[in-house]
Amino acid sequence: MNNFQQQLLQGIPTILPNSKLYNSEINHAPKRKNILSDDEKKLALKNALRYFDTKHHAVLLPEFKNELDTYGRIYMHRFRPNYEMYARPIDEYPGKTIQAKAIMHMIQNNLNPAVAQHPHELITYGGNGAVFQNWAQYLLVMKYLAEMTDEQTLIIYSGHPLGIFPSNKNAPRVVVTNGMMIPNYSKQDDWEKFNALGVTQYGQMTAGSYMYIGPQGIVHGTTITVLNAGRKIAKHGENLAGKLFLTSGLGGMSGAQPKAGNIAGCITVCAEVNPKALEIRHSQGWVDEVISDLDRLVRRVRKAKEAKEIISIAYQGNVVDVWEKFDVEYIYVDLGSDQTSLHNPWAGGYYPVDLSYEDANNMMTEQPDLFKEKVYESLRRQAEAINKHTAKGTYFFDYGNAFLLEASRAGAKIYKNANQEFVNKDSPSLGEGGGGWAYPSYVQDIMGPMCFDYGFGPFRWVCTSANPEDLAKTDAIACEILEEIKKGAPSEIQQQLADNIQWIKGAQENELVVGSQARILYADAEGRIKIAKAFNNAIKNGEISAPVVLGRDHHDVSGTDSPYRETANIYDGSQFTADMAIHNVIGDSFRGATWVSIHNGGGVGWGEVINGGFGMVLDGTKEAEQRLQAMLFWDVNNGIARRSWARNNEAIFAIKRAMEAEPNLTVTLPNMVNDNLLENIFKH
């Protein structure tokens, strides 16, 4: 057994490792708000110390107190392992079950410094999207996974491994919950407090469920969104050549925007205030050029427009300045959006204009109330500038980062009155979908009706051999299957299939892999099942050399209830319920998922969304084939059924097709009410 394997099996070391120096080369999480009273701090320390033998408490207590005072959280830096953190080939993990080894592969990928946003704070993306709360949890989870059999299930509460319980081969190996709160305790400050106490975490979507695959995961969805936004604004069917897309954020997910802009064929300007985040994306080749002077940016964009260049430019600075500058300089913006982390506005997700990056970081912890005012002021200015652009014709859409939600809370003018003038309002409108704002969410206009309602969503897989040749084989298999499906597909989904075939054909060339050998591909239930079956056969035949993990983003057809994002195109009032996400994860777990997870928060923020996902290990066996068939069918179709009940025509079409194909499926269909009949009854 090698040293790495020994360390995994050891779990929390019995002899204290040396304390670790703070490495300022690494992109660290911002210091969190000092929210605990002294009594609560004592509780946080007691909570942290329960992972360790009492003989170590005298040494660890002052150290953990110092971490709590300095960072606002206890990360237990001393226990960060010395081995390199990356997804190793599956047979390098010790263990008694292939399924648990595959999960270790996925966890290490989520914490790989080339992949994770704040790797030392165990944050994968989105500023606070945590895999674990502290390093003790990581060490214990890896140990349990290395020890358990496939007759057991590991239970995880927000990163904390409660234990391994007896179960059976068909049960999930791991069940994860993240941030599940009694509903009245889901305000932003509740996260700050209970996370600081060490009893909950914000798992985002794929961070706390070990399914993150780097920015590739979002490039595909972003490409589809930008392409379709382009189709919406095309007057004569022209493409995006010479058109400008202005947005912000070069972080975990937002960093995909420039690459997607290049694939979609436009000029992208993406503002980013954090020089480290910008540098990472530039060095990885995800953005072509960097400019930090606004006048130079204006000149460069004019030149790019004239030459119809396909180019992505990172502006090092605040996005509000760019919106305002482009307005006064008459730079026409064709497509506009925003991907700052507004799900997390008070703790580093959004940097207000006219404050330096350093000043903002200090203010958010030292003067949180003033910082909040600055954020709101900045959002009002940003919305004001965007309104000027949209009055000239810009198509602006909310990109699922809670921009419109927070801007509305800031009192920004993002509603329109009967005279089509921009106004503010006290609370979002219900029943209109999204918040009833002047601008659509990308799910209302694009992703919902074109993809989710038909069952197309961000299916993904990871080759646990860590061998690029296996990934290339899976790409070829998936492409062949989509081409076959397209031949007999109805006209309603021809465009989606064509876009996805084009994507998978270009996937190798676009060099999308960062971290594990993973691929994302939007597919519907039929596509997902057929592709998964073919992978399982290829593993059985030895064509693919090791198990493949299937999964998906939570941002999908069925996994997420989120009124300002995934379910923004649900208009029957049920967008504020979370039955679908809960049923989805329960249904996945007894139909064969290898692991399942359900989260409060993800994308738009703590308390604003419930989302879930799964991982499924394909090992070439007959059992894996049965599981994939049962689980993937449910995983997609339960969401289509709900979307159909909400009267979405595309979903009604898709679920009727599913019922024709599967005699065991019977879904309750809605009857449509004649609007005139309804209106008339209120006239009398």
Ligand X SMILES: NC(=O)c1ccc[n+]([C@@H]2O[C@H](COP(=O)([O-])OP(=O)(O)OC[C@H]3O[C@@H](n4cnc5c(N)ncnc54)[C@H](O)[C@@H]3O)[C@@H](O)[C@H]2O)c1
Residues 6+ apart with CB under 8 A from 474: 461, 463, 519, 535, 538, 544, 548
Position 343 contacts ligand X (CB under 6 A): yes
The only residue of 94, 95, 119, 126 in contact with ligand X, by rule CB under 6 A: 126
Tell me the sheet residues that pair with 316.
272
- The residue sitting closest to ligand X, measured at its beta carbon, is 251
Q: How far is CA 339 from the centre of its chain?
A: 12
Q: Tokens 């049962």 identify what position?
A: 630
Q: Which stretch binds ligand X (CB under 6 A): 60-68, 340-348, 519-527, 665-673?
A: 340-348
Is 546 in contact with 538 (CB distance < 8 Å)? no
Name the one range near ligand X by CB under 6 A: 63-71, 132-140, 349-357, 645-653.
349-357
CB of 96 to ligand X, least distance (A): 35
* b (16+ CB within 10 A) / e for 507-538: beeeebbbbbbbbbbbbbbbbbbbbbbbbbeb
Q: Which stretch binds ligand X (CB under 6 A): 300-308, 335-343, 511-519, 536-544?
A: 335-343
Residue 14, burial from CB neighbour count under 10 angstroms (0-12, 13-18, 19+): exposed
Q: Specify the residue, 255 or 455, whose C-beta has the smaller distance to ligand X.
A: 255
Q: Binding string, 235-274, against ligand X, x = CB under 6 A?
A: -------------xxxxxxx----------------xxxx
Contact 365, 347 (CB under 8 A): no
With H, G, I as helix, E, B as strand and everything else as coil, classify residue 338. coil
CB of 280 to ligand X, least distance (A): 9
Within 13 Å, how many C-alpha atoms sit on residue 112's CB side? 20
Total residues at interface with ligand X (CB under 6 A): 33
Binding segment for ligand X (CB under 6 A), chosen from 1-9, 123-131, 477-485, 661-669, is: 123-131
127 touches ligand X (CB under 6 A): yes
Binding segment toward ligand X, per CB under 6 A, in 83-91, 139-147, 336-344, 504-512: 336-344
Residues in the chain: 684
As a whole number of Å, the CA-based R_g of the chain is 24
**Residue 414: its H or E element:** none
Where is 325: in which H helix or E strand?
Answer: helix 319-328
Distance in Å, CB of 620 to ligand X, minimum: 32
Q: Which two tokens stand for residue 325?
A: 């500058």
Q: Which of residues 289-318 bind ligand X (CB under 6 A)?
A: 318
Other Cβ atoms less than 10 A from the Cβ of 414: the count is 29
Could you say which residues in the range 585-604 bind ligand X, by CB under 6 A? 603
Residue 286 or 535 with smaller CB distance to ligand X: 286
Per-residue interface string for the shown chain with ligand X, residues 178-217, x marking contact by CB under 6 A: ----------------------------------------
Shortest CB 602 distance to ligand X, Å: 7
Residue at 562: amino acid letter: S
Q: CB of 201 within 8 A of CB of 178?
A: yes
Residue position matching structure tokens 């990928």: 109
Contacts of 93 (CB under 8 A, 6+ apart): 5, 8, 101, 104, 105, 146
Q: At its nearest, how many Å lie between ligand X and the CB of residue 195?
A: 16
Minimum CB separation from ligand X for residue 22, in Å? 20
In single-letter form, the type of residue at position 225 comes to T
Which of residues 263, 277, 514, 640 is near ligand X by CB under 6 A? 277
Mapped onto helix, strand or coil, the DSSP state of residue 89 is: coil
Inter-residue contact 143 to 546 (CB < 8 Å): no
- Decide whether 346 or 399 has the Cβ nearer to ligand X: 399
Instruction: Round to whole Å and give the CA distance between 668 and 675.
Output: 21
Q: Give 351 or 415: the residue with its C-beta nearer to ligand X.
A: 351
**Binders of ligand X in range 354-413 (CB under 6 A):** 399-401
Report the alpha-carbon distance of residue 388 to residue 436 in Å, rounded: 20
CB nearer to ligand X: pick between 12 and 116: 116
By the rule CB under 6 A, 125 interacts with ligand X: yes
Tokens of 550: 């299937």
Q: Does 345 bind ligand X (CB under 6 A)?
A: no
Q: Hey, what amino acid is at 17?
A: P
| CB closer to ligand X, 127 vs 455 | 127
Residue 458 in contact with ligand X, rule: CB under 6 A: no
608 binds ligand X (CB under 6 A): no
- Which residue from 192, 180, 165 is spatially nearest to 68, judged by alpha carbons? 192
Residues 635-674: x/- map of binding to ligand X (CB under 6 A)? Answer: ----------------------------------------
Q: Which is nearer to ligand X, 12 or 273 (CB)?
A: 273
Query: Nearest approach, Cβ of 67 to ligand X (angstroms)?
Result: 22
Choice from 109, 158, 223, 339 touching ligand X (CB under 6 A)? 339
State the minimum distance, in angstroms, from the CB of residue 599 to ligand X.
12
**Cβ-based nearer residue to ligand X, 319 or 438:** 319
Name which of residues 525 to 584 contact ligand X (CB under 6 A): 555
Q: How far apart are CA 503 and CA 479, in angstroms?
A: 9
Position 319 contacts ligand X (CB under 6 A): yes
Q: For residues 195 and 318, which CB has a smaller minimum distance to ligand X in the complex?
A: 318
Nearest to 666 by CA among 630, 636, 641: 641
Compute how many other C-beta atoms are within 10 angstroms of the C-beta atom of residue 495.
13
DSSP 33-58: P----HHHHHHHHHHHHTTS-GGGHH
- Piece of the chain touching ligand X by CB under 6 A; list 343-351, 431-439, 511-519, 637-645: 343-351
Given the complex with ligand X, which of 400 and 435 has the nearer CB atom?
400
Chain contacts with ligand X (rule: CB under 6 A): 117, 125-127, 218, 221, 248-254, 271-274, 277, 318-319, 339-343, 349-351, 399-401, 555, 603
